[in-house]
Structure 1
Amino acid sequence: MTSAQNAYRIRPTHKAHLRADAAWALFQILEHGHSSREIMPLVFERTPKAKDRAWLQESVFGVLRVLPRLQVYLRLLLEKPLKSQQKIIEHVIMLGMFQSAFMRTSSHAAVSETVEAVKVLKAPQLSGLVNAILRRFEREKIVEHEITQAHAKVNLPKWLFRTLSEAYPENIDSLCEQMNAKAPLFLRINLMEIGLPDYCELLNKAQIAHEIHPPRTVLIKQNVEIPSLPLYESGGFSVQDYAAQKSADLLQVQPGEVVLDACAAPGGKTGAIIEACPALGHIYAMDTDEHRQSKTRENLKRLNHTKRLKARLTIVNGDASDPASFSSLPLFDKILLDAPCTATGIIRKHPDIKWHRKASDVEAICQLQQKILANCWAQLKPGGVLLYATCSILPQENSQQITAFLASHSDASLLAIQGHEHDQQVGWQILPGEQNMDGFFYARLIKSL
């Protein structure tokens, strides 16, 4: 059973209460290792009002973004760490401190509502402690306490700050700032359903501020709930970062070609490839996670691609790191390998990634990438093109991975991405915030005839 399936087996047992729900979400994410993508829907379903769901998102993600600072404050104010089932109250306290310091919540509201959350979470015996800590936080202006550790100043884990400082010494400050910023909301308009000008007219009628990026992209410039946007149910758009949208353009699929999206779930890039070349011969969307593959099916059905392509679309439950998964598949003209990675390029979108990844993960992930890359390369036709992609900004997973692959495969050469590669640079490394994009990496490889 996957972690996502496990997450959906748990539910909050306390009565619905915004601050208690936010603390419960933080507890599940930070203490039990669940991802925000798994946990947040469980608290949203208890929250009927859109403004309250927005508050939950801002509060939980906000705490995750500045967690090291809040932990410093907590250590100053809490004599002994709380243990066992009481541990969740530490998250209540950090939430209260975040409200007071970063959300401009009034001191009275931050204290009283946080204390009420303690009672809702069935720990009334700790309400006095929480009340005293938050009042002292305000009275002693703890938020002005100097943070001395370099990694804590920029709200990153120590290992990640060290790795990025070595890789990007000249722009580490701006990089950290961007990684802790809020992510923009980009839409990829499904031009098979509606033209870009017509969709923007629907946004105008709905009074939704936006910015146009032809030929198919819109940046939404205000807070919205995705399902409330025009044509969501009928497949008028997909939510996809501007960097991720580049995959279909760089793959350059031609009519009649047979294509593999090797690590496809939940199908965002599969849809983009179909929309960029509706006349492709056949596209296979492979992924090893059956739960996430169900999302691939849902997404492609919502976009009407399942009906449109019919027999030219095949969804494969297979492990790209296992050669046996390719045994029944054809050779491919084009392969998109959006490889498993540390996801360090999308931390601003999913700040819990910072606290789930460890330095020891990198080597194991690189080995997995190497296996998948070799298997996909064996399945590529001579003259075919493989586009390697990650949402990472670590060189080990990106330029170093491709350099090593080129050195060990004489039939592989770079097909340069115009303007982004030169003798000293392998691939196109996008850093968070460049043209408002997520952190992403692309390298395009061509197989000799």
Structure 2
Amino acid sequence: MNAPAPTAHASLPLAQLLIHAAAAVQAVRGGQSLTDALERCPGPARPGAQALSFHTLRWMGGAQAVREQLVPKAPPPALDSLLLTALALMWPGSGPPYAEHTLVDQAVVAAKQRGGFVNAVLRRFLRERDALLAGLHGNLVAAFNHPRWWIERLQRDWPDDWQAVLAADQQRAPMTLRVNARRGSVAAYLARLADAGMAATAGPGEQAIVLAQPCPVNQLPGFADGDVSVQDAAAQRAAPLLIGHGLPAGARVLDACAAPGGKTAHLLERAELDVLALDSDPQRLARVHETLARLHLQARTLAADAGNTTAWWDGKPFDAILLDAPCSASGIVRRHPDVRWLRRPSDIDALARTQARLLDTLWPTLRPGGRLLYCTCSVFKAEGLDQIDAFLQRHGDAAVPAEPASPGHLLPLPDNEPDRPPPPSGASADGFFYSLLEKT
């Protein structure tokens, strides 16, 4: 999800957008995903509400800390979320999208009966801002806008890079495309974008293009015809890693957790394969169907739990398996700023157990000499390096092949792919983990 700039949606009164954005923030604080919350927002208000809620969630740690200074007793949830939204949108250094007096006035309108209270709180923030911010010295949550447990885990996992990773999470993610190799080249598609007046550069990877500015997919030349897809450069590493060693035409490949289908499609764009795409959620599996249909590709699909092989496996071993395992999504916080506030420390341990179960269950379905690619969009070692180290200890018939080399952890930083130069824009790819395993 790429949030447009807030100032691009001035057609609706700001007060209305603040109401919808605050409702979305309240939903996230209540444990709901931002995607689900925004789906309930009226269509005309959704782009603006999305942009404002993205901004708020990126800076909510500081906004929450200041609100606690200004109003020690938390107001009702709806009012509290409106205050947090307004405070985050006025946060120094965040690139505030509106003039401060405009935000205060429109927040007062949005508060309706409690407008006087909101006016007093926000104007006090503006008057005492320097002192209030000084009072937050040493508050890691306010400084880095992530939960404390998240920060501490990154400090343990990446003692030299944790601050850079947290800073990267505050940035807008680039919109990266994957050119369909069956229908054209990167050079040809760059020319089509130039003809359409859309600036872009070739990204890291054989089929990647990074747009200078995000745009709705229906504005991309040939998108409806399957000429191009939206997929981050880090996610585009899966298909080349799994099939780069040379799978024969018609090889049996399992995509164990396929939705929404981007990696499934990429595999089929690059080779003639017999792909079985699984997903435990029938609604999410429908997105795989839609993706394949748009790209004119075919795969067998099945709604099933990959970890319950008795329900779906026919006993014939696979030549290759892609396991894009359920994870914390800690590597894609730029695109989903709500993730950091939704996750709990116990979630990481639970997800690691799920990942281990899937690895152990799927390994017997792979033929000797076959390869399994394990990946997560996580920067936590418990879901990456530690997971694979434990797997190798449990399975004596598993090894990490020398070629192609497994990238391991890719942090969402400009130099996260040392074997590939970053695009001229300097945009970095998402955080990911990859490990290729071979059955010996």
Q: What range describes the TM-score normalised by the shorter chain of this pair?
A: 0.7 to 0.9
Instruction: Return the match for 1:428 from 387, 408, 417.
Output: 408
Match of 1:247 in 2: 238
User: Would you say the 8 A contact 2:178–2:209 is kept in 1?
Assistant: yes
User: Does 2:383 correspond to 1:394?
Assistant: no
Match of 2:21 in 1: 22
Q: Give the superposition deviation at 1:19.
A: 1.4
Query: Greater shift after overlay, 57-66 or 239-248?
Result: 57-66
Task: Supply the AA of the counterpart residue of 1:409.
Answer: H
Equivalent position SS for 2:253? strand
Closer/same/farther in 2, CA of residues 186 and 44 from structure 1, 3 Å limit: farther
In structure 2, distance between residues paired with 1:100 and 1:19? 13
User: Does 2:284 correspond to 1:292?
Assistant: yes
User: Does 2:182 correspond to 1:183?
Assistant: no
Task: Supply the AA of the counterpart residue of 1:437.
Answer: A
Instruction: Return the match for 2:268 from 270, 274, 283.
Output: 274
Equivalent position SS for 2:331? helix
Equivalent position SS for 1:402? helix
Q: Give the superposition deviation at 1:419.
A: 5.7
Unmatched runs of 5 consecutive residues or more in structure 1? 1-14, 421-426
Q: Give the superposition deviation at 1:99.
A: 2.3
Instruction: Return the match for 1:145 from 134, 155, 158.
Output: 134
Match of 2:90 in 1: 100
Deviations 1:4-62 (A, max 9, x none): xxxxxxxxxxx99211111111111222x221222224336233xxxx72x43332111
Q: Give the superposition deviation at 1:363.
A: 1.4
Closer/same/farther in 2, CA of residues 445 and 229 from structure 1, 3 Å limit: same
User: Would you say the 8 A contact 1:189–1:238 is kept in 2?
Assistant: yes
In structure 1, distance between residues paired with 2:334 and 2:209? 19
Task: Supply the AA of the counterpart residue of 1:296.
Answer: V
Match of 1:34 in 2: 32
Match of 1:171 in 2: 161
Q: Tell me which protein shows more helix as a share of its residues.
A: 1
Equivalent position SS for 1:242? coil
Q: Give the superposition deviation at 1:416.
A: 3.1
Closer/same/farther in 2, CA of residues 371 and 146 from structure 1, 3 Å limit: same
Closer/same/farther in 2, CA of residues 417 and 399 from structure 1, 3 Å limit: farther
After TM superposition, the structure 1 = structure 2 runs for residues 4-153 of structure 1, keeping only pairs within 5 Å, are 17-31=16-30, 33-43=31-41, 45-47=43-45, 53=47, 55-83=48-76, 87-101=77-91, 102=94, 103-119=96-112, 124=113, 126-141=114-129, 144-147=133-136, 148-153=138-143
Closer/same/farther in 2, CA of residues 395 and 275 from structure 1, 3 Å limit: same
Deviations 1:293-341 (A, max 9, x none): 1111111111121xxx3xxx21011101223233336310010000111
User: Does 2:363 correspond to 1:372?
Assistant: no
User: Does 2:309 correspond to 1:323?
Assistant: yes
Equivalent position SS for 1:182? coil
In structure 2, distance between residues paired with 1:16 and 1:324? 55
Task: Supply the AA of the counterpart residue of 1:357.
Answer: R
Closer/same/farther in 2, CA of residues 104 and 365 from structure 1, 3 Å limit: closer
Task: Supply the AA of the counterpart residue of 2:127.
Answer: R
Instruction: Return the match for 1:228 from 202, 205, 219.
Output: 219
In structure 1, distance between residues paired with 2:135 and 2:175? 34
Task: Supply the AA of the counterpart residue of 1:230.
Answer: P
Task: Supply the AA of the counterpart residue of 2:67.
Answer: L
TM-score by length of 1: 0.86
In structure 2, distance between residues paired with 1:44 and 1:251? 42
Q: Give the superposition deviation at 1:180.
A: 2.1
Instruction: Return the match for 2:254 from 236, 252, 260.
Output: 260
User: Would you say the 8 A contact 1:185–1:241 is kept in 2?
Assistant: yes
Instruction: Return the match for 1:208 from 170, 195, 198.
Output: 198
In structure 1, distance between residues paired with 2:101 and 2:39? 29
Deviations 1:62-114 (A, max 9, x none): 1111111000111111242123xxx1111111221222233152222111111
Equivalent position SS for 1:255? coil
Identity of aligned residues (%): 33
User: Would you say the 8 A contact 2:25–2:53 is kept in 1?
Assistant: yes
In structure 1, distance between residues paired with 2:357 and 2:258? 17
In structure 2, distance between residues paired with 1:338 and 1:225? 26
In structure 2, distance between residues paired with 1:44 and 1:231? 29
Deviations 1:394-435 (A, max 9, x none): 111111111111111111111135566xxxxxx611011224
Q: What is the total number of aligned residue pairs between the two structures? A: 406
User: Would you say the 8 A contact 1:416–1:444 is kept in 2?
Assistant: no
Unmatched runs of 5 consecutive residues or more in structure 2? 1-13, 417-421, 423-427
Equivalent position SS for 1:346? coil
Task: Supply the AA of the counterpart residue of 2:237.
Answer: K
